[in-house]
Amino acid sequence: KMSRPVQARRLEGVDKNIWVEFVKLAATYSTVNLGQGFPDFPPPDFLKEAFTRALSGEKHMLHQYTRAFGHPPLVKILAQLFGKLLGRELDPMTNVMVTVGAYQALFCCFQAFVDEGDEVIIIEPFFDCYEPMVKMAGGTPVFIPLRPKAPKDGKLMSSADWQLDPAELASKFSERTKAIVLNSPNNPLGKVFSREELELIADLCVKHDALCISDEVYEWLVYDGKEHVRIASLRGMWDRTVSIGSAGKTFSVTGWKVGWTVGPNRLLQHLRTMHQNSVYHCATAAQEVVAQGFQREFERYGKPDSYFVQLPKEMQQKRDQLVQSLVAVGMKPIIPEGTYFLVADISEFKSDVPDVPNSDEPYDSRFAKWMVKNKVNASALFHRIYHGVFVPSRLAVLIRASSGGNTTSGQRPHPDPVLVWKKPGHCLSPW
């Protein structure tokens, strides 16, 4: 046994993780963490109040196991809400399953559906965990990039300008294609796939009898009046799609780790098998409170005081402010249609970032580390996740509430950290 490694072979090639690396680095340098995807503003008051109320009551069963596949009040309201959004009657017991964050939902999907020899199409740029999860399940990731179209003269690029080439996409489907992973709104670009783009993907899924794993965690963070179209609602797609959502992103409570899958029983039954053999139950209290949050939102759906209306409105302002700040320091931001991420072109800064001779570390990774050491942490995911297409010059930055202006909670605004990056001698911030 001494000659063989102690760990299982399924861990080969999945041991590196960019968040573990960067979060450690950010902590070391006490930087403002603009990279990792979580809000720095509080959850909405109604949710905090619900949490406090739940805990102050005498319901100590809130501290014991609940139904393994999802706390009944939560799966019921999810079935109601998503039934309405998808235009079909959903059974809370068989069409909905609660997971430990959307992350675990993704894990269950890959483990349940992907086998050795299967191919899974991943659209670049992608949330970094898709690739190692496919590999850990023994599958082969097949990448296809979103490609930028040049914007009109003088205008800033939008995430809508990044598109799949239909012929190229069609060529990626083969008889070994088990599934395609769709992430809309897309992290990190912020792209919100249009109905036509989704129909393109749907047609190929139907043609090749492929599944669609649809990561829609940012479904409520959509700007400029754009519509988030759910691929599961397209013709022929309900029966082959698992839609994934997240309370963390929906209600700005990433630390609660409550996610869910919605789909047909024939697919969810396998997710349940996977779930009962991996974590079995999810924590009860958070599910109870999220259920109450959803109940409130269901009653206010579409109304101006709905959190799902207010949050994107507020974030859109932050987005616009951040875009201005980045332009002011000479970066070229790509205006996101959704999510709270923004990608900016940093090629202008090459001269400022110290060159490291004999290093094969990509430019954007070095840039990001330079930013971290100099007080701002931004994610250098872009090179790593943009597989196969050499685009080293972009940097993903997170839009945060602290990017100027007042927050709804009345917090004192932080100085805009991005303005630090104006060339030396032109620093506009007291940072």
Partner 1 sequence: FRVEFTKVAADPSIVNLGQGLPDISPPSYVKEELANVAAVDRLNQYTRGFGHPSLVKALSQVYERVCGRKIDPLTDILVTVGGYGSLFSTIQALIEEGDEVIIIEPFYDCYEPMVKMAGAKPVFIPLRNKNDGNCASSADWVLDPGELAKKFNSKTKAIILNTPHNPIGKVFTREELQVIADLCIKHDTLCISDEVYEWLVYKGKKHIKIATLPGMWERTITIGSAGKTYSVTGWKLGWSIGPQNLIKHLQVVHQNTLYTCPTPLQEALARAFWIDYKRMDDPDCYFYSLSRELESKRDRMAQLLREVGLKPVIPDGGYFMIADVSTLNVDLSDVDGNQPYDYKFVKWMIKSKKLSAIPLSAFCGPETKGQFEKYIRFCFIKVNVLETINMGSMVKKGSCQKTTWWLVFF
Interface with partner 1 (CB under 8 A): 1-2, 6-11, 14-15, 17, 19-20, 23, 36, 38-43, 48, 51-52, 55-56, 60-68, 100-101, 103-104, 107, 129, 132-133, 136, 248, 252-257, 276-286
Q: Closer CB to partner 1, residue 359 or residue 409?
A: 409
Please, how many CA atoms are within 13 Å of residue 28, restricted to the half-sphere of its CB? 10
Q: How near is the Cβ of 181 to partner 1 at its closest, in Å? A: 15
Q: How near is the Cβ of 68 to partner 1 at its closest, in Å? A: 7
Q: How near is the Cβ of 7 to partner 1 at its closest, in Å? A: 4
Q: How near is the Cβ of 286 to partner 1 at its closest, in Å? A: 6
Joined together, the tokens standing for residue 293 give: 């949050």
Say which DSSP state 338 is in: B
Joined together, the tokens standing for residue 357 give: 């001779």
CB 353 within 8 A of CB 341: no
Q: Helix or strand or coil: residue 177?
A: strand
Q: Which residues pair with 98 in a beta bridge?
A: 260
In which order are the strands placed within the sheet that holds 119-124? 96-99, 259-262, 241-246, 211-215, 177-183, 119-124, 140-145
Q: How near is the Cβ of 352 to partner 1 at its closest, in Å? A: 31
**By C-alpha distance, which of 208, 252, 325, 268 is closest to 46?**
252
CB 37 within 8 A of CB 221: no
Q: Closer CB to partner 1, residue 179 or residue 201?
A: 179
Q: How near is the Cβ of 258 to partner 1 at its closest, in Å? A: 8
Q: How near is the Cβ of 116 to partner 1 at its closest, in Å? A: 11
Between CA 222 and CA 5 the distance in angstroms is 47
Q: Closer CB to partner 1, residue 23 or residue 309?
A: 23
Q: Closer CB to partner 1, residue 158 or residue 379?
A: 379
Phi, psi dihedral angles at 278 (to 5 degrees): -125, -60
Q: Closer CB to partner 1, residue 159 or residue 287?
A: 287
Angle at the Cα of 244 (from 238 to 248), degrees rounded to 5? Answer: 155
Q: Closer CB to partner 1, residue 48 or residue 426?
A: 48
Q: Closer CB to partner 1, residue 54 or residue 85?
A: 54
H runs (alpha helix) in 95-183: 101-113, 130-136, 166-172
Q: Closer CB to partner 1, residue 99 or residue 177?
A: 99
Q: Closer CB to partner 1, residue 43 or residue 125?
A: 43
Q: How near is the Cβ of 367 to partner 1 at its closest, in Å? A: 24
CB 284 within 8 A of CB 62: yes
Q: How near is the Cβ of 139 to partner 1 at its closest, in Å? A: 13
- Provide the strand spans (E) within 158-219: 162-163, 177-183, 211-215
**By C-alpha distance, which of 266, 242, 4, 14 is closest to 139?**
14
